[in-house]
Structure 1
């Protein structure tokens, strides 16, 4: 059972945490980000905020992806704001311990899949089904439907395509950055590492960007599936 936090202590903690998260988002490389991560980790430990500590413990910054720190910073800022609004470190996917084959349903990472291709949604569901720590709680075929499902289901994690009708993934991501919850992993071949789209997605708070498998019978299905699960586990604060 989660214990409520002291309101005065929480009020003092939040602006300091958000300022530190902003510094993390401005870090130019992994070396510059590391001391900020250490400071955030010390703050989370001092406040005994397990969900924030789990997110930081699972963070491994890629030295070749300077925008990654911005995505992590956004996720940390949103989590802290949610904690402040709730007045407690409510149980969440980020705080879930590593699970074995018999992962209780309540401990699984509740995941939403947003992609306009029914075949790709099925493929992503099958990849997630291979990891007992994940549970797919919903699907959506475009960005507008995805945002509606986010509000309705409040998933811990959303897998989001970029190229979709009605509202594309970048449009959905911009709105999620203002009003959404949980973490987002972009699953798309339209956001190659270092591209303007990938950098903007990171700036908006995407936890990771991975390429789509070519198809269920393609030669890259095993490799892409493993990369996707690794990114999803890190985004959810689980050991990769």
Structure 2
């Protein structure tokens, strides 16, 4: 793409990202996402388009707004500068929480959600089939809980595990136990039903921990 056209795209895309960051309603955010996706697809920027598709599935205003600066930065850096994808498995018995985590990860294009599981039994099967680079793991689940999953994963499982659970607060016995079993660490679940800002902060913490667990 010619430099002049690329500069024009980046300027218009930045304006769209600013509108997304300031969106006050889900409807306004969806309009911004649709506009940004059309621009990304129009110039053939696959990484941006994929990130925007994932974000649209999240249905979470706080996650959409928090993603705006990262989308703008990716557009500035260009597709060739995008780092390798981190293939990620999400394990949680709550469909709503799995969707929220998927939305949080979609805010950063390097994360690719390759599967989901509702309990430890499904997670072990997905682990064997998908060999993810990173697993986001809940602790309290039916059939086989997170601790049971870690016991099996420690023997043969690929990738890293980041526990995302309200049951493993920093310094708690559960947090120490997941470390003993080989997990990279533990971070609290987002709880944005009452506070979008809280959800956004929790999402940032999860993203930061996920980056480090996957090796930076």
Query: Higher helix proportion, which one?
Result: 2
What's the offset of the Cα at 1:208? 1.7
Larger radius of gyration: 2
CA spacing shift, 1:103–1:123, aligned 2, 3 Å: farther
Q: Give 1:59-138 correspondences, 5 Å limit.
A: 102=79, 107-138=84-115
| Counterpart among 207, 210, 221 of residue 184 in structure 2 | 207
Equivalent of 2:127 in 115, 140, 150: 150
Structure 2 CA distance for aligned equivalents of residues 104 and 117 of structure 1: 35
- Distance in structure 1 (CA, Å) of the matches to 2:115 and 2:80: 19
Match of 2:204 in 1: 226
CA RMSD, Structure 1 to Structure 2 (Å):
2.0
- 2:136 paired residue number: 159
Please tell me whether the aligned partners of residues 108 and 134 of structure 1 are also in contact (alpha carbons under 8 angstroms): yes
Count, aligned residues: 140
* TM-score in terms of structure 1 length: 0.55
Structure 1 segments of 4+ aligned residues over 6 angstroms from their partners: 103-106
When normalised by structure 2's length, the TM-score is: 0.61
In structure 1, runs of 5+ residues without a counterpart are: 1-98
Matched, 1:236 2:214: yes
Please tell me whether the aligned partners of residues 103 and 132 of structure 1 are also in contact (alpha carbons under 8 angstroms). Answer: no
- Aligned CA distance change for structure 1 residues 121 and 207 (closer, same or farther; 3 Å): same
Would the aligned equivalents of 1:123 and 1:216 in 2 still touch at CA under 8 Å?
A: no
Give structure 2 stretches of 5+ with no counterpart: 1-73
Matched with 1:195 is 172
Between the aligned partners of 1:117 and 1:103, the Cα distance in structure 2 is 36
CA shift digits 1:161-202 (9 cap, x unpaired): 000000000110111111111000000000111111111100
Q: Which has the higher contact order (CA 8 A, sep 6+)?
A: 1
Name the structure 1 match of 2:67.
Answer: none
